[in-house]
Every structure is written in structure tokens, then in C-alpha cells.
Amino acid sequence: MNAEPVFYGHENKSRVPHRRTHDPLPADPVGQRLALLFPNGWDWIFASAPDPGNPVDWETVKKFPLSPVEMWSHHQDPDCLIGVRPSAQTRWLVLDIDKDSRYHPSSDPEWLPKIRHALEDIGICRSLLCQSSHSGGLHLYLPLPESVSSFWLSVCIKLNLEAEGIKFYGGQCELYPNPKRYVPKGKGYSLFAAFRLPMQPGSGFHPLDADLNPLPWSLETWLEAFELCADGQDMGRLSHAIADAQQNFKVRKSGNASSLATWQERIHEEKQQGWTGPCQTNEKLKIIACEARVFLGMDSPEQIAEYVCQTAQNTPGFNEHCRHQHEIERRSYEVATWAMRYYWPAGSAPTRDAKYHDKQVAPADFGYHQSKREAAQNRIKQAVLELKRVDKLPPGIAARASAIAKLAHTSQKTLYRKSNLELWHPHHLPPEPPQKAPEALQKGTITQLGSNNTHLLNQRKLELLLFRSFLQLYIYVGFVIQTIRIQAAVALAPKGQRAAKAALESSEDLDRGGLGGNSKVIPIQNWDQLHLSLPPGLQQKISNAKRQQKRELELEQRRRQRLKARKSQRKAHSEANTELRPQQEQLPLHLVTTGDQPIERQARLSEREEFDRWYRLAQQCKLVADYSWRDGEYWVLAEEQWQPYSELSAVFTLRAMERMFGVSFDFGDGRDD
């Protein structure tokens, strides 16, 4: 086929794959050509460059698409690797042959020419052979001069190469784009498999000549070779091959006799071929279990598991390639249980709905991630209810998120999910039902206005909360001691009357009035007698509990005295400093005096610098509005309340504010005076 070379920017629009028009392209012309050749930026993969000999740890990025500028930046970075997924329309197909594959030239040099000859029969006359990475695998690029359907191109290549005897398995031979899994309408969508971009610096990707020697090409040279190969393809023959593949690609229907025969024949071929490489155990065991259930009619998991285990061990390549030989019995039973649920014997009534659509009942989602999301939502609800119950739900968004995350054991990322915002966020909470209007006050009713001193009110609430906690502890300790005493009175009192216990061993002695003629055992009449009758170890435990209770009461009394003294001191200073100075841009630090006598303790230079950095960052985060030096420490105005700087900075550290609000705390060493 004679075709004139047409490059990007010319009138042939089919050469340019679809990309969103608002995505800016890189400034480098080579980067622009690369971005247009691989336009799909969704669900891309990323990995740090591994050491030679180590596997690549790929990670799928689903949060945001890969822009062309970012793709070019990552592509030129030797410390990372990136990969993309094919779009619905594509101008290329990649045949991936692993180093240990039976189709690699190092294993059998005849397979690669055979593959290229089979591709020529369907119009792929030119290909671009490259080494994919340092591992020595191959990427055979099949460039096209115009865009075609990615799915039907992969089906066409797969069917024609399978006719030549090539089997597509992970670790052997794979296609990009691959014939992705079918998903029924309304059930979501499936993705093409992702693969690494070509010609990344330091990735081990090299173009190869006919003798598999690396070529010293640049990315620009490789792109020119790609276009040259694309111009040599026979698109007319390829279009006919794709149309034939669409006709031959049929979905197997349940119950058809010819389909069952073909199915059984394929299972027999798979068993004869056996293991050809690693990462095939799951598929092989499923095929054997399917045969046992459908064609042999086995009706118990134990029977199927025994057949799967024995057949797998006698299959060719099991000892060489199977990495689950030590657990083959367990894996066989798991596959047998799956086959019992999924298949039924041929000729019998189906045990499950074989249709794609069920109009009666929607399929339930028992996914692991869904259960995790529901558990997190329940914990968030319980945390909000608990904070409301103790009246400690902060009004601010950041403080509320921090308190809920700590109590619910969730991350900030989980809280800020769109599905979880309505559970706690003040801007997303559902509207509360309107409250009933209060009844009109009768004439002469005396009402008391609410106090404006919210600080003292919050302090009183804290005191009541602490008092309730200590009261609960005191009741619990008293209950434990009382229980111990009752149990001792019931179980240990007879042990204190050893003579009477010996007398009760014989009914005749009881009839005679007990030991020594005494017909009566003297009971324990008070707690002192009970204490003396207890074993020494139990007496020591009771004494320790009493001392511990006494110490806790003393600590509570001292704490209340300190709290009362501090409260009175704050009240005295607040009356002396009724007006606080306004906020200043340059934060000069000076001593606030009360009366005529200055406070003895002054802020050290290190304290000033540390507070200066923290205050500037807190102002950026809108946590504080003003500050003051009182009682030998810094005070800040947060949420219209004066709070000690030491307490607030313990919660909102520099690192914490940087993570929560996305601001930087690098202000430099100097200050503006």
C-alpha cells in the first residue's frame, strides 16, 4: 500500500487520537507528539524507579487524570516510571513477550518471525521491536496510520495469533490494549490494562535491530520510526480482518450442545498443555474443577477437591512452574467450593440465574470496600453522638474534624469524603426540624438573661464533667469492695469455723448436737470479724484498695484547690486588663503589666521566636485573631475566647496545621521590625 506520510497538524484528522481540547500540551514539540500518541490520562500507573534486579511496585492513580504536561515531566524524570491505559480508539497495539516466555527469542528464535508473518496476513506489515525494561522482555509495537477501535483490534490480533498456536497468559504473552472483560449494561465499566510508556530515561527501554542489538535512538527518532512503520500498513486488509473478528467473536451460550462439546474440547487441550510458566495456578485449577462439576457430574466439594488435586499433580509442568505445591490441597478445596456455587452438571436444571439482567431483584453488594465504608460511617455517627452527649462537639470545622477523627479512629481523608460530609460537617448537615415556638410569658413572670461569660460557663462544664468521672470511679471502687466483702462473707465464713466444718461431715454428729455437744455454729456478726477471718492475701488487697481510694480523694481535693486559685487569679487579671490591645501586623513582643508593678518573668528569646512562627501560621489558618502576654505565658484569642498558647499549640502544631490547611511554615529566620 502506497501512502504519503502525514504528520500531526495536517489535514488528516484521523491521525490525531481524541484528547480533551482544554488540556494544554507541553512546550517541547517531542512532548506534544508523545502526548497525542498516548492521550488517555485516566487511571494511570506510577512507580519509583527500582534498583536493578528488583521488581517494579506499580500504583494506580485514580484521584486525578494525568495531564499532558505532567506526563512529559514524569517521562523525563529518571527517578520514576509511568504508564497509561489505551483509549477507546487507538493508533497502536503492543505485544508484550516476557523474558522467560516460550515465545522469547532466547527460548525459541522461531516464534518471533512466525508472529510477524501472521501479522502480515491481516495487514500489519511493519512492526517496531523494543526491549521493554532491564529484565529483557520485548515490546513489539504495531503502529497504525489511523485510529481504530481498541477492543476490536485486540480481538482481531488475539484470534489470529491463537490460530498460530500462541497462548495469551500473564508471564508469557500479553496484548495492550487487551480484550477486556465484558460488563453488562448498567453495571459499570471495565478498564484496559495499563503498560509503561516507551523511551523513559533509565527504564531499560531500548529499540532493537533485527539481531536484537540496542539502537542509540532518541525519543524523537523513535517517534519518526513509529510514523514510518504506520505508513507501511495495509489498512484495507486490516479492516476486513477486524470485521471477520467481529463475526467470529461469539459469547458462549448455556445449554447448546455444540458449545458444550467445544467447551469440553478446550478443557482437554488445557489439561494436555499443562503449566507453561508461573502465575497460572488459579486458571488451571478452575478449569479442572469445571470439568469435574459440569462434565463428570460430581456433587460434593470433597469429591471435586480430590479430583482437582490429583489431576493437577499429574498435569505437565506442575512441578516446574506451580508455586502453590505446598498448599495444593487447600487451594483445590477452595476452587471446588467455588465450582459448586457457580456451575451445575450438564443436562440438569441450572442452580443459579445464568442471565446478565435480573429485573426482579438487584444484586447485593457484599464487597470488602463497601463494608469498610459502612463501618467507618457508623463510627463517625457514634462519635458525633458521643461528643454531643458530653457537650464537647467543637463548632469549628477543623477542631470538629480532629475530635471526631480521634474518637472514631478514622483519617481526615475519610471524614472529608463526599458521602461522609453530611454526617458531621456543619455546612452539609441536614436541616433540623423546626422547633415549637415558646409560649408567651405571663405578666409578672421574672426571667433571667443568659450570661455572656462563656469562658466561665465552659469552665464550669469541664468541672462538672471531671466531677462526674471521679464520682463514677468512686462508685465503681466502692461497688468492687462491697462485692468482695459479700463474697467473702458467703464463701469464706465457714473456713473461719474449721471445727464446725469438721463437725458437719457426719449427719450423726449433727443429730447429736455437733462437735462436743455444741448444736450451734457462731456466725460472724460484724465486718471486723469478717476481715480477721479472711486469708492474709485478701486482707492485703482490701487494705491497698482503701489506701488507693484515699489517695484519689486527696488528689481530687488538691486539684480543686489549684483550679479555684487559678480561676480567682484569672478573674483578677481580667478585671485589671479590661481592654486588650488590637491586632498588629508586625508582632512586637512586650510585657503586659497589671498595675504599677511589672511581672517578674519575661519571655525568653527562644520562646518569642517559637511563638512568632506559630502565631503567623495560625493567623494564615484563621485560628487566632490576637495575642497577649499574661501571667508569665502567652495567651491567644481563638474563637472569641482567650486561651493559653501552650494548650492550643499542643493540639495545632506546625505540622498539623500544614497537613490540615495546606499552608507552609517556612517563614525564614528574620522578622520585620
Q: Which of 248, 280, 306 is the last residue of a domain?
A: 248
Name the one residue in this structure whose C-alpha cell is 471531671.
Answer: 466
Q: Can you give the pLDDT at residue 82?
A: 92
Number of domains in the chain: 5
pLDDT beyond 50 at 520: no
Q: Can you give the pLDDT at residue 531?
A: 63
In angstroms, the CA 69 to CA 474 distance is: 66
Q: Which of 141-150, 224-233, 438-447 has the lowest mean pLDDT?
A: 438-447
pLDDT confidence of 22, banded at 50, 70, 90? Answer: low
pLDDT beyond 60 at 594: no
pLDDT confidence of 191, banded at 50, 70, 90? Answer: confident
pLDDT confidence of 608, banded at 50, 70, 90? Answer: confident
Could you tell me if 135 and 204 are in contact, meaning their C-beta atoms sit under 8 angstroms apart?
yes
pLDDT confidence of 188, banded at 50, 70, 90? Answer: low
365-405 pLDDT, tens digit per residue, is 445 577 788 889 999 999 999 999 999 899 889 899 999 99
pLDDT beyond 80 at 571: no
Q: Can you give the pLDDT at residue 523?
A: 53
Kindly state the average pLDDT of the residues 104-123.
Answer: 90
pLDDT confidence of 180, banded at 50, 70, 90? Answer: confident
Cell of 76: 523525563
Mean pLDDT rounded to a whole number for the chain: 77
Kindly state the average pLDDT of the residues 436-464.
Answer: 55
Please give the angle made by the CA atoms of 159, 163 and 168, to the nearest 5 degrees: 60
Please give the angle made by the CA atoms of 604, 607 and 610, to the nearest 5 degrees: 150
Check whether residue 548 and residue 627 sit in a common domain.
Answer: no
pLDDT beyond 50 at 623: yes
Cell of 359: 429485573
Name the one residue in this structure whose C-alpha cell is 523513559.
Answer: 200
Higher per-residue pLDDT: 7 or 78 = 78
CATH number at residue 153: 3.90.920
Check whether residue 504 and residue 614 sit in a common domain.
Answer: no
Check whether residue 234 and residue 292 sit in a common domain.
Answer: no
State what percent of residues in the chain have pLDDT above 90. Answer: 20
Q: Can you give the pLDDT at residue 528?
A: 64
540-566 pLDDT, tens digit per residue, is 777 787 888 888 888 888 888 888 888
Check whether residue 409 and residue 277 sit in a common domain.
Answer: no
Q: Can you give the pLDDT at residue 377?
A: 92
Please give the angle made by the CA atoms of 206, 211 and 216, to the nearest 5 degrees: 35
Could you tell me if 586 and 673 are in contact, meaning their C-beta atoms sit under 8 angstroms apart?
yes
Check whether residue 380 and residue 415 sit in a common domain.
Answer: yes
Residue 532 lies in a domain: yes
Check whether residue 181 and residue 141 sit in a common domain.
Answer: yes
Q: Can you give the pLDDT at residue 175?
A: 92
pLDDT confidence of 434, banded at 50, 70, 90? Answer: low
Residue 476 lies in a domain: no
Q: Can you give the pLDDT at residue 125?
A: 92
Name the one residue in this structure whose C-alpha cell is 508461573.
Answer: 278
Name the one residue in this structure whose C-alpha cell is 510477524.
Answer: 116
CB neighbours of residue 375 within 10 Å:
11
Question: Residue 273's closest CA among 346, 172, 181, 154?
Answer: 172
Q: Which of 60-64, 174-178, 251-255 has the lowest mean pLDDT?
A: 251-255
Q: Which of 342, 361, 388 is the last residue of a domain?
A: 342
CB-neighbour burial class of residue 200 (10 A; exposed 0-12, middle 13-18, buried 19+) = buried
Please, which residues have CB within 8 angstroms of residue 312's CB and are 6 or more apart in sequence? 284, 285, 288, 318, 322, 328, 332
Q: Which of 71-75, 163-167, 378-382 has the lowest mean pLDDT?
A: 163-167
Check whether residue 93 and residue 210 sit in a common domain.
Answer: yes
Check whether residue 59 and residue 187 sit in a common domain.
Answer: yes
Higher per-residue pLDDT: 120 or 499 = 120
pLDDT beyond 90 at 85: yes
Cell of 561: 484547690
Q: Which of 108-112, 279-283, 528-532 has the lowest mean pLDDT?
A: 528-532
Kindly state the average pLDDT of the residues 162-189.
Answer: 78
Higher per-residue pLDDT: 506 or 168 = 168
Residue 544 lies in a domain: yes
Q: Which of 183-197, 359-373, 476-490, 512-526 has the lowest mean pLDDT?
A: 512-526
In angstroms, the CA 563 to CA 556 distance is: 10
State what percent of residues in the chain have pLDDT above 70. Answer: 73
Residue 474 lies in a domain: no
Domain housing 64: 13-248
pLDDT confidence of 503, banded at 50, 70, 90? Answer: very low
pLDDT beyond 90 at 143: yes
Q: What is the pTM of this model?
A: 0.40
**Long-range contacts of 609-618, Cβ-Cβ distance < 8 Å, separation of 24 or more:** 611/645, 612/587, 612/671, 613/654, 613/665, 613/667, 614/645, 614/649, 614/654, 615/587, 616/587, 616/667, 617/654, 617/657, 617/658, 617/663, 617/665, 617/667, 618/648, 618/652, 618/657
Check whether residue 117 and residue 174 sit in a common domain.
Answer: yes
Kindly state the average pLDDT of the residues 232-243.
Answer: 88
In angstroms, the CA 638 to CA 623 distance is: 6
Check whether residue 274 and residue 195 sit in a common domain.
Answer: no
3-state secondary structure of 601: coil
Higher per-residue pLDDT: 503 or 210 = 210
Residue 627 lies in a domain: yes
pLDDT beyond 50 at 362: no
Residue 356 lies in a domain: no
Cα(first)–Cα(last) distance of the chain, in Å? Answer: 78
pLDDT beyond 60 at 221: yes
CB neighbours of residue 501 within 10 Å:
13
pLDDT confidence of 464, banded at 50, 70, 90? Answer: confident
Check whether residue 66 and residue 17 sit in a common domain.
Answer: yes
Q: Can you give the pLDDT at residue 545?
A: 79
Check whether residue 242 and residue 265 sit in a common domain.
Answer: no
pLDDT beyond 70 at 443: no
Q: Can you give the pLDDT at residue 345?
A: 83
pLDDT beyond 80 at 492: no
87-102 pLDDT, tens digit per residue, is 989 999 999 999 888 8
Q: Which of 248, 269, 288 is the last residue of a domain?
A: 248
Residue 38 lies in a domain: yes
Residue 414 lies in a domain: yes
Question: Residue 184's closest CA among 339, 359, 346?
Answer: 359
